[in-house]
Amino acid sequence: MLKIITLISFICISAISHAQTLPQENRVPGGIAIIPLTGIETQKAPTAWYKGNRVMVLPSSGTEHTESKWLAVAGIPLSAKADQKQHLKANSTSYYFTVEGKEYKAQYLTIKNKRHVEPDPEDIKRWRTEKAKMVAAYKHWSEPKEITTHFAIPAKGPYSSPFGLKRFFNKQPRNPHSGLDIAAPHGDPITAPSAGTVVDTGEYFFNGNTVIVDHGYGLTTMYCHLSKIDVKIGDKVTTGDKLGEIGKTGRVTGPHLHWSVSLNNTRVDPILFLNQ
């Protein structure tokens, strides 16, 4: 009897350890939609697309979604409208979903370097080149053995600016805040929140010293305003590996980490990937 109880306990523990941890679903602009791909029973994961970008697909086993074999995990752009039906396609099947409206707060910042508010033509040219590099990193597709669906915090400190804020620099409207700001002392370590590969580093006009890590299946993370970069393109990192140090390079008002998460080339709220 004891052997039977032990075996049952082992099976239960094994089932729990293999349960799939999903990011938090929040169908709002800047959120995440988890779409059961009902009707697709293929052994191989289907290929899914949303707004022209390939979407992460993972098995539903170990999740609460028992109605389908596969799940699409799609990032919803901040520009998504609540009155517009969203269209995701997997193989030859269409799936539709809606998003709820969300009103993000406004933030007014004073930037001392006027060129970071009104860049000159050369600055704009530089920014466009840098943006192309970032988009290429966001759109990079890799398929590591393990699928990353949650993160550890990459730096210690309070959240100073949440995701999605409507931003005004020197009273001029600019794009919404596409990441999470973590305030920390200059020189504090920034660490990888999960395993991945460094796909870009550089000193950017707005972002300052920057690192971008590819975690696979359309999921990337970006770290901005660093005082020091400790990795290079092609480096493999694991959770807790040092990427660099907190700084105040680029368009900033003080030392902090700007951490952004991109899913299917769409910036989403990093909080949705944290176990908290």
Domain identity same for 68 and 165: no
Domain identity same for 68 and 151: no
* Boundary of a domain, candidates 40, 63, 97: 97
CB 254: neighbour CB atoms within 10 A?
10
Residues 6+ apart with CB under 8 A from 213: 192, 196, 197, 198, 199, 220, 221, 222, 223, 237, 243
Q: Which of 127, 128, 163, 152 is nearest to 215 (CA)?
A: 152
Supply the CATH number for residue 171's domain: 2.70.70.10
Strand-strand pairing, 48-50 and 53-59? antiparallel
The pLDDT tens digits along the chain (276 residues) read 434 433 333 333 333 334 578 999 999 999 999 999 999 999 999 999 999 999 999 999 989 988 899 999 999 999 999 989 999 999 999 999 999 999 888 777 777 777 677 778 888 898 899 999 999 999 999 999 999 999 999 999 999 989 988 767 666 666 678 899 999 999 999 999 999 999 999 999 889 999 999 999 999 999 999 999 999 999 999 999 999 999 999 888 889 999 999 999 999 999 999 975
Supply the CATH number for residue 46's domain: 2.60.40.1590
Instruction: State the total domains in the chain.
Output: 2
Write down the pLDDT at residue 23: 96
Write down the pLDDT at residue 14: 36
Write down the pLDDT at residue 17: 36
Domain identity same for 91 and 127: no
Residues 6+ apart with CB under 8 A from 26: 32, 269, 272
Asked if 178 contacts 221 with a C-beta cutoff of 8 angstroms, the reply is no
62/48 Cα distance (integer angstroms): 21
The pair of three-digit structure tokens given for residue 97, joined into one six-digit string = 């979903």
Can you say whether the dihedral through the CA atoms of 242, 229, 201, 126 is positive or negative? positive
The pair of three-digit structure tokens given for residue 58, joined into one six-digit string = 């993972």
* Residue ranges of E strands in 63-141: 70-75, 86-90, 93-97, 106-109
Write down the pLDDT at residue 25: 96
* CA trace torsion 128, 130, 136, 142 (10° rounding): -170
Decide if 197 is inside a domain. Answer: yes
* Boundary of a domain, candidates 97, 129, 156: 97
Write down the pLDDT at residue 38: 96
Helices vs strands, H then E, count in the chain:
2, 20
Domain identity same for 52 and 128: no
Tens of pLDDT along 18-61?
457 899 999 999 999 999 999 999 999 999 999 999 999 999 99
Domain identity same for 88 and 219: no
Query: DSSP assignment of 183-204, as one string?
Result: E--TT-EEE-SS-EEEEEEEEE
CB 68: neighbour CB atoms within 10 A?
17
Write down the pLDDT at residue 245: 98
Domain of residue 75 covers 20-97
Asked if 245 contacts 188 with a C-beta cutoff of 8 angstroms, the reply is yes
* Boundary of a domain, candidates 47, 70, 97: 97
Write down the pLDDT at residue 169: 66
Decide if 153 is inside a domain. Answer: yes
